[in-house]
Amino acid sequence: MTAMTHDSGNDALIIAGKSYRSRLLVGTGKYKDMEETRLATEASGAQIVTVAIRRSNIGQNPNEPNLLEVIPPDKYTILPNTAGCYTVDDAVRTCRLARELLDGHKLVKLEVLGDEKTLFPDITATLQAAEKLVTDGFDVMVYTSDDPIIAKRLEDIGCVAVMPLAAPIGSGLGIQNKYNLLEIIEQAQVPILVDAGVGTASDAAVAMEMGCDGVLMNTAIAGAKQPVLMASAMKKAIEAGREAFLAGRIPKKRYASASSPIEGTFF
């Protein structure tokens, strides 16, 4: 027991030099209200929480609750995203606004989308935007496809974490290409997080059992019938998957091997 406690106690996720206990990162979109966002985020145990940057409502209800009052930056690491950006310039501009909004905060989630139907990343634009942002001093966590060559390029550019999709954003299909993901994990020198495509707790556990450093999700929690309960399930799945990865699973075999000894049988 001591060994287990010791191992899991030291098992921090380190991103851009900062240490996190939780390997579950959550988005804040698609919730029915701020209270549900707050409760689900708390239940998830997440320490890194994504937000989007959008125009303020001018002249409409200036007293509506602000997300950053519900998810305060002194309690959570806020990860502003570039969701909805289809060009390098829009993504870079969004990150600069986010940095100003969050008082010089450098950690951003870069995504440059290529297509509205699939929301797959535009890889060439993602590479260009990553270069610009890294040069500009940002700590870039980058959403990308499950292509190992591109994952390595993004790491070489200086991204602090590479985040391949498991399946299309919001699809809930789970990990579609385990072998690519495994290749990405095995070659990486930076944290690899599955970003997008998780549907339920077992998907998250599978990603962690494979050796992913973390999972970022939004729809799987916010879109569940009971988001707060699903947030709790995801927290456990991530922890279970991580511990199983560290423990080292048994090899798969085609035939049985008895659990009880043969010696000492009296029949």
Catalytic residues: 109
Smaller CB separation from another protein, 102 or 233: 102
Q: What is d(CA 76, CA 69) in angstroms, rounded to the nearest whole number? A: 11
Q: Distance between CA 98 and CA 50 in Å, rounded?
A: 12
Who's near 73: CB < 8 A, 6+ residues apart?
A: 102, 105
> Within its chain, how far is the Cα of 261 from the centroid?
44
Residue 41 and residue 49 in contact, taking contact as beta carbons nearer than 8 Å = yes
Nearer to another protein, 56 or 257 (CB): 56
Q: Which is nearer to another protein, 93 or 178 (CB)?
A: 93
* Residue pair 52/83 in contact by the 8 Å Cβ criterion: yes
**CA–CA distance, 240 with 134 (Å, rounded to integer):** 34
For the bound state, the minimum distance from the C-beta of residue 123 to another protein, rounded and expressed in Å, comes to 20
Task: Indicate the pairing of strand 13-15 with strand 18-20.
Answer: antiparallel
Query: Residue holding tokens 């922890």?
Result: 239
Closer to another protein at the Cβ: 13 or 198?
A: 198
Which one, 44 or 153, has the nearer CB to another protein?
Answer: 44
For residue 156, how many C-alpha atoms fall within 13 Å in the half-sphere facing its CB?
9
First to last CA, the chain: 37
CB of 159 to another protein, least distance (A): 19
Q: Minimum distance from CB of 217 to another protein (Å)?
A: 8
Per CB under 8 A, residues contacting another protein are: 26-31, 37, 50-56, 58-59, 62, 66-68, 78, 80-81, 83, 93, 96-98, 100-102, 169, 216-219, 222
Q: How far is the CB of 83 from another protein (least distance, A)?
A: 5
As measured in angstroms, the least distance from the Cβ of 157 to another protein is: 23
